[in-house]
Amino acid sequence: MDLFASIRPEVEPLGQGAYLLPGFADTDALLAHIPALLDAAPLRRMMTPGGRQMNVAMSNTGQYGWVSDARGYRYDAADPMSGEPWPAMPLDFISLAKQASKKAGYDGFEPDVCLINRYEVGTKLTPHIDQDEADKSWPIVSVSIGIPAVFQLYGPTRGGKAQNIALTDGDVMVLGGEARLFYHGVKPIAAATDPRFGPVRYNLTFRRAR
């Protein structure tokens, strides 16, 4: 009998430069930083340029933060809620993003943004492309924390059939290469409970904005 047949590889290629690193992140270590970060820059549901309130609550840590309002989408060095700089990115966050990107074959990645997303049961993320970053040759590193999600990876155009990727606590996805500019979204989150903080999913996306 092959004792290792049921063990997933450390790096699963998803195609076109996207990779899944199952269970790569120590989410207890990451979560330890969350209260102070969200105290300094609280989660908020931003407005889209079209005037709709987003479903996902967001905040940022790092040199820049991703913001959306009536003026559009952009990266800003200040939190518009306070006018203050975003809280500094914890070294644990930076080192995780660097290690994960390197493991996926993208060496030299230095994130200057970590977007923090918070989902409740039923929250979804509409398909979109992340294209507000200056140099799209850098990957985006995405960490799932808490209750499971189904990530939908489409192609370079809107619509078509998605690759459904089940993400659980500690999974890290690296979107680089062609897949960096593929449409993607998150299906409505199914009812579940994380023993540490309840019916919630956090997602951290590490980016290089400038």
Instruction: Catalog residues that contact Fe ion under the rule CB under 5 A.
Output: 130
Decide which of ligand MD6, Fe ion, none touches 209; Cβ closer than 5 to 8 Å per partner kind: none
Of 57, 67, 203, 206, which one interacts with ligand MD6 (CB under 6 A)? 203
Q: How far apart are CA 65 and CA 53, in angstroms?
A: 18
Residues 163-182 that bind ligand MD6 (CB under 6 A): 173, 175
Least CB distance from residue 208 to ligand MD6, whole Å? 12
List the x/- string, 139-158, binding to ligand MD6 by CB under 6 A.
Answer: -x-x--------x-------
Q: Which is nearer to ligand MD6, 41 or 153 (CB)?
A: 153
The label of the residue with tokens 């967001």 reads 58
Q: How far apart are CA 150 and CA 145, in angstroms?
A: 13
Transcribe 163-202 into DSSP letters: EEEEE-TT-EEEE-GGGGGS-EEEPPPPS--BTTTBSEEE
Decide which of ligand MD6, Fe ion, none touches 142; Cβ closer than 5 to 8 Å per partner kind: ligand MD6
Contacts of residues 193-196 at CB distance under 8 Å and 24 or more positions apart, as own/partner, are: 193/147, 194/146, 194/147, 194/169, 196/28, 196/31, 196/146
The label of the residue with tokens 């919630």 reads 200
Of 37, 58, 186, 189, which one interacts with ligand MD6 (CB under 6 A)? 186
Decide which of ligand MD6, Fe ion, none touches 19; Cβ closer than 5 to 8 Å per partner kind: none
CB atoms within 10 A of CB 155: 17
Q: How far apart are CA 45 and CA 68, in angstroms?
A: 9
Least CB distance from residue 9 to ligand MD6, whole Å? 20
Q: Which is nearer to ligand MD6, 27 or 117 (CB)?
A: 117
Decide which of ligand MD6, Fe ion, none touches 186; Cβ closer than 5 to 8 Å per partner kind: ligand MD6
In angstroms, the first-to-last Cα distance of the chain is 51
Please report, as ranges, the residues that interact with ligand MD6 according to CB under 6 A. 117, 125, 130, 140, 142, 151, 173, 175, 184, 186, 203, 205
